[in-house]
Amino acid sequence: MTGLFYLLGVVIFATAIMASIGLHELGHMIPAKKFGGKVTQYFIGFGPTVWSKRVGETEYGVKAVPLGGYVKIVGMLPPGAAELADEVTVDAQGNQVVKVRKSNTGMFTQLVSDARAAEWETIQPEDSERLFYKMAWWKKVIVMAGGPTVNLLIAFFIFAGVFATYGNPSEAKPYGPAVSEVVDCVLPASELTRTCKPTDPVAPAKAAGVEAGDRIVSFNGVPFTTWEAMQDEIRSNADGAATIVVERDGQEQTLTTNTTVTARPTSATDDKLTQVGFLGVSPTFNGLVTGGPLYTIEQMGGMAKDTVIALGTLPQKVWGVAEAIVGVHPRDPNGPVSIVGGGRIAGETVSEESFPVKEKAVFLLMLVAGFNFFIGMFNFIPLLPLDGGHIAGALWEAVRRGWARLRGRPDPGYVDVARLLPIAYCVAGALLVMGVVLIVGDVVVPVRLQS
C-alpha cells in the first residue's frame, strides 16, 4: 500500500507540473495569436512525438520526454542584412518563395546563418505581415512575458489559498524553549526520514531523559527565554558535556548528557552543512500566520529576493550535487532538485504514514507552487534562449528606436536577436549540463523528505 501511495504522490506532482507547463505555453500562444502572429506548433515535452492533432494552422501534441514544452511562433528571427536581397524569389509557376542565402564564414556565423535559414524555410509569402520580429516591441514583451507570468500567477493563487485557509508554514516560529519532540537517534542530514537502526547513536536528549512537553530552563548554566538562543548554545557545545535543567509538571529537574557532533545547515538562511553540536529536540511552534492577497504578495516579494540570491549561487550548488554524486561529501538536503527530485519528495510525502492527510495536501500544494514560482522567476533571466532574453531584446529595441526619434535619426529597425544565438547556445548547454547533473543526483543521491 505504501508503494501505491508513493506512486500516487509522484503522479499528482507530475500531472500538476505538466499542467503548469501547458499553461505556461498557453501564456505565450494566446497573446501571440491575439496580436496576429502565426503559431504552428504547441507541444508539451520534447523528443519524439507521442500524439498530435492539427487544428487550423496549429499542431497540438505531446512528446515523449516530459521535461518542458514549447510553442513555435513564426518569424522569431529576422533575416540578416546579407540575406535580405534573396528573401523572396519566384518559382517556375510564378509563385513567390521565401529563401535565405546561407553564409559559411566562421563557426558562429554559420550557426546563426543556419538558424535563420531553418526559420525562414517554414515561412510562406502570405506570412510576411504575421512575423513575430515585426510586432511592436510591447507586443513582443507581452507574448514572451506571458509564459512565466502564468507560472507566477499559479504560484500566487496556490499560496493565497493556503495562506488564507491553512496558514503560512514558513511563518511558524519556535514558542520559547519548549520541547515538542525528542528524536530517538542521530541520523545523517541526508537520511532524516528513515527510521533508526540499532547501529545509529542514541540522541543525547533521549539518553538524558528529556521528554516532549519539557521546558528547557537552562543549558550548561545559561538560562534561556528563546529557542534560538538555546539552539546557538547547543550548536557551539560540540561534543562537550551538557547539563540541562528542565521544567516538567511544575518541577525543575537537572539532566546530564554529552552533545554529539553532526552535519546540519549553518542557519535558517544558509543551507551549507556545518559540523555542530546536536542535542536532538524539536521546538513547539506558535500558530500559523494567515493572510489574504496583500499578505501573499508581500511573502512572494521576499521569496523573489531569496530566489534571485539562489539563482546567483545555482552553479555552485549544482557543483555540490556533482561532488555528492561521486562521493566527495554528502548531498545538501536543502540544495536544488530537478523535477525528478520533486516527484520523489511528493511520493515520500504521500506515502509517509505519520503525516496527516491535511498536512500532506498542504505540502504538495506548496511544492507545486514553489516549482512554479522558481520556473517563472528563472524564465525572466535576460538571457537567450530564456523568455527573458527575448524580452530584453524587445525592450532594447524600444529604447533604441525612441532614442533615434529624440535625436531625429532614421529608425534603426528591429533588434536582431539572432546575433545573440552563440550566447544562447552556451546558456542552453550550461542549462542542459546542470539539468542532467540534478537528475542524476536525484536518482543516485536523492534528497529525502525531512520530517
How far apart (Å, rounded) are the C-alpha atoms in residues 96 and 99?
Answer: 9
Q: Among candidates 189, 169, 176, which has minimal Cα distance to 231?
A: 176
Which cell numbers hold the place of 259?
552533545
Q: Are strands 222-223 and 215-219 parallel, antiparallel or unpaired?
A: antiparallel
DSSP state of 54: E
Q: Which residue has the cell 533521549?
A: 206
Mind spelling out the 3-state secondary structure of 368-426?
A: HHHHHHHHHHHHCCCCCCCHHHHHHHHHHHHHHHHHHHHCCCCCCCCCCHHHHHHHHHH
Q: Among candidates 313, 207, 202, which has minimal Cα distance to 257?
A: 207
DSSP state of 428: H
Q: How is 166-229 classified by DSSP, letter by letter?
A: T-BGGG--EEEEEEEEE-SB---GGGTTSPP-TTSPBPHHHHHT--TT-EEEEETTEE-SSHHH
Catalytic residue among 25, 233, 348, 397: 25
How far apart (Å, rounded) are the C-alpha atoms in residues 231 and 165?
Answer: 31
Q: How is 93-151 classified by DSSP, letter by letter?
A: TS-EEE------SSHHHHHHHHHHHHHHTT--GGGTTS-GGGS-HHHHHHHHHHHHHHH
Active-site annotation holds for 25: yes
The helix/strand/coil state of 56 is: coil
How far apart (Å, rounded) are the C-alpha atoms in residues 363 and 369?
Answer: 10
Q: How is 274-340 classified by DSSP, letter by letter?
A: EEEEE--EEEEE-PPB---HHHHHHHHHHHHHHHHHHHHTHHHHHHHHHHHHTTSSPPPTTS---HH
How far apart (Å, rounded) are the C-alpha atoms in residues 7 and 372?
Answer: 22
How far apart (Å, rounded) are the C-alpha atoms in residues 234 and 406?
Answer: 65
Task: Tell whether omega for the bond before 385 is within 30 degrees of 0, i.e. cis.
Answer: yes
200: region left, alpha or beta (phi > 0 left; psi from -120 to 50 alpha): beta
Instruction: Give how far the C-alpha of residue 87 lies from the chain's centroid of Cα atoms, to the nearest Å.
Output: 41
Residues annotated as part of the active site: 25
